[in-house]
Amino acid sequence: MQALPATCWLNPASCEKNELMIALSIFNRVVMAAVTLFGVALIVFVLLRVVPGDPIAMMISPGASAADIAALRAHYGLDASLPVQFGLWLKAMLGGDFGTSISLKRSVLDLLGERLPATLELAVAALFLAVASGVAVAVVGTLMRRGPLEPVVDALNGVFLAVPDFVWALALVLMLGVFYPLFPLSGRIDPTIDMPFATPFYLIESLVRLHFAVFCDVVAHMVMPVLALGLPLAAIIARVLKAALSEAMVQDYILLARLKGMSELRLVVQEALRNAIGPTIALTGVQFTFLIGGTVIVERIFSYPGIGNMAIDAVINRDLPLIQGLVLVFGVLFILVNLLVDLLVAAFNPRLRHG
């Protein structure tokens, strides 16, 4: 994706052909997103029907005749040719009908609407944790550079970097779930809590409605999955940002600021960080999409009712309509995240902003 159009969106005045550029870039984005989504939809649709695992074979009763099996196949619309099936699905989807889940017997769109917020809350919380702790470690590490503690910080960061999210999840289950049972092991909310939520955004809603006990319970259920998802990303952010900060700290403008008498902390936070953050934002965006992918396993381990957990069941049951819907949602999320990253990179990079 090109970052140039984003500069015009943020600061049209700085763009020489701003209006035309804005219109073109928006059009460009929409077309690219549509083409990408169409490609994703087509690939997933074909792949699901080519890879082993026929959903009908999993439903055949012991006494079923060939006619019964054919009827079942027709019932789920799997008897037509692949192009016809794809055309029908695409047409229905464009009309807002994502189909009905074979295993859950409910509208795919409704299911996604219910489960996506859980995953979004988890992913965004993990992102916040990762950014906050990653930036903090990078700043501290930069302040300690060339000191005796720098290798310790780097080594610890390396350990966090090497351990993948699902290993963190299992380790956390043991540490904070069994040995020191501080946090709930499974679910999104305590099953004994009776609170009729009006929206699927439990965290936000409980906070807005000032149900503090419920809010704390939802947060408690998020702690371990958020840590599992956020710690590896935090380590990546810390490593990249620390390297960028170290590079920035030897630049002339830092030397000048230091000569003016600025403290080391202010030098790092106020001067170097602004210039060094660009690559980190771009990388964080890319890694955030991986983080969303990581929710599949992490949600499963913590029985967290998001789209990741649902995706595993959908794959096991070869629930084709649901898998297709889920993949499209992941696709949309990836496109939106990339778009947001482009905007943020432009916002933080003066050369792009004024370019």
What is the contact surface with other proteins in residues (CB under 8 A)?
A: 52-54, 56-65, 68-69, 71, 75, 102-106, 111, 114-115, 170, 173-174, 177-178, 181-192, 194, 212-213, 215-217, 219-220, 223, 299-306, 309-310, 312-313, 316-318
The whole-angstrom separation of Cα 220 and Cα 209 is 18
Residue whose CB is less far from other proteins, 37 or 92: 92
Number of H helices, E strands in the chain: 15, 0
At closest approach, how far in Å is the CB of 90 from other proteins?
Answer: 24
Identify the helix (H) or strand (E) that includes residue 287: helix 273-301
Residue whose CB is less far from other proteins, 239 or 300: 300
**Amino acid identity, residue 130?**
A
At closest approach, how far in Å is the CB of 265 from other proteins?
Answer: 17
At closest approach, how far in Å is the CB of 115 from other proteins?
Answer: 8
In the numeric block, which tokens belong to residue 336? 């939106």
Identify the helix (H) or strand (E) that includes residue 2: none
Q: Which of 287, 349, 286, 336 is nearest to 29 (CA)?
A: 336
Instruction: Report the b/e string of 302-320 with b at 16+ CB within 10 A.
Output: bebbbbbbbbeebeebbbb
Residue whose CB is less far from other proteins, 211 or 353: 211
Tokens 């690559």 sit at which residue? Answer: 279
Backbone angles phi, psi at 206, to 5 degrees: -65, -30
From residue 296, how far is each of 22, 41, 205, 326 by CA, in Å? 37, 19, 24, 11
Compute the radius of gyration of the chain from its Cα atoms: 24
Residue whose CB is less far from other proteins, 24 or 60: 60
**Amino acid identity, residue 111?**
L
At closest approach, how far in Å is the CB of 309 from other proteins?
Answer: 5
Name, in order, each residue with C-beta under 8 angstroms of 231's C-beta and a sequence gap of 6 or more. 129, 130, 133, 160, 163, 165, 168
At closest approach, how far in Å is the CB of 35 from other proteins?
Answer: 31
Residue whose CB is less far from other proteins, 53 or 147: 53
Residue whose CB is less far from other proteins, 20 or 71: 71
At closest approach, how far in Å is the CB of 297 from other proteins?
Answer: 9
At closest approach, how far in Å is the CB of 220 from other proteins?
Answer: 4
Residue whose CB is less far from other proteins, 64 or 140: 64
Residue 134 near residue 241, CB atoms below 8 Å: yes
At closest approach, how far in Å is the CB of 183 from other proteins?
Answer: 7
The whole-angstrom separation of Cα 300 and Cα 219 is 18
Residue whose CB is less far from other proteins, 169 or 267: 169
